[in-house]
Amino acid sequence: MYKKWLQIIIKSALFQGIEEEQLNIILQCIRPRIVKYNKDEFIALAGDDFKEIGLVLSGEAMIVKENAAGNRVIISMIKPGELFGEMAAFSGKSKWPSSVIAQKSCIVLFISPKAIISQCEKLCVSHQLLIMNMLNIISNKALILNRKVEYLSIRSIRGKIIHYLLEQYKHKGKNNFTLPLNRTELADFLNIPRPSLSREMCRMRDEGLIDFHRSSIKINNVENLKALAEL
């Protein structure tokens, strides 16, 4: 049942450092289930009962939340090998705090949190490592959420765009890159109206700060952009 997905599973942060032989034993122990979803289908709906952590095996999903005004805000994008629901798994809450939507047709592996932290029935030697990986994932996710708060604290639209582009530049290691989000998704992520995002990016292009074509971005002068980010 899991053989087809072993290479994706073994590369995920949750199973990092676990050999394939031990992985097969652990999977038999924790007994995850696999579910397929179509594009735009809800994988989880905010307010629904929370039971399992999800691991995307194929396709792509996004975590979204509606604010008080009813506007959708993208919390994060989830690609193959990445988890969702881990922050809620051990919080004591029994409801999904956000919705998870299949951005593309995708397949998800669901794992019970209790199966991760419970004493292993088969005495798997790698089960302790599984628990340590889970703690590491939760800590890293907390840092990512802190990053989201930082974006929300930036008041100007230009400031949010500049900080996002500089972050992508640092991540990619070059000044010419493709954005992981389309224009609508980026507007949701930065919590600004899409038309305002497009207008400000056009102004930045006219001022010679950046060039762009669809999702491809070129920062013409990184130091200039850094200087503006400090204003």
Q: How confident is the model at residue 229 (pLDDT cuts 50, 70, 90)?
A: confident
- Greater model confidence, 28 or 176: 176
Sort strands 106-111 and 53-58 into parallel, antiparallel or unpaired.
Answer: antiparallel
Segment (H or E) for 98: none
Q: What angle do CA 178, 143, 86 make, to 5 degrees?
A: 95
Q: Which of 30-39, 53-62, 141-150, 208-217 has the lowest mean pLDDT?
A: 141-150
Q: pLDDT of 79-99, one tens digit each?
A: 999 999 998 888 877 889 899
Q: Which domains does the chain have, with CATH numbers?
A: 3-152 (2.60.120.10), 155-229 (1.10.10.10)
Residue 124 confidence (pLDDT)? 62
Say whether pLDDT at 147 is over 80.
no
Contact 62, 76 (CB under 8 A): yes
Average pLDDT for the chain = 88
- In 59-160, at which residue ranges do the beta strands (DSSP E only) sit? 61-66, 72-78, 83-84, 99-102, 106-111
Per the confidence metrics, is the pTM higher than 0.85? no
Q: How confident is the model at residue 118 (pLDDT cuts 50, 70, 90)?
A: confident
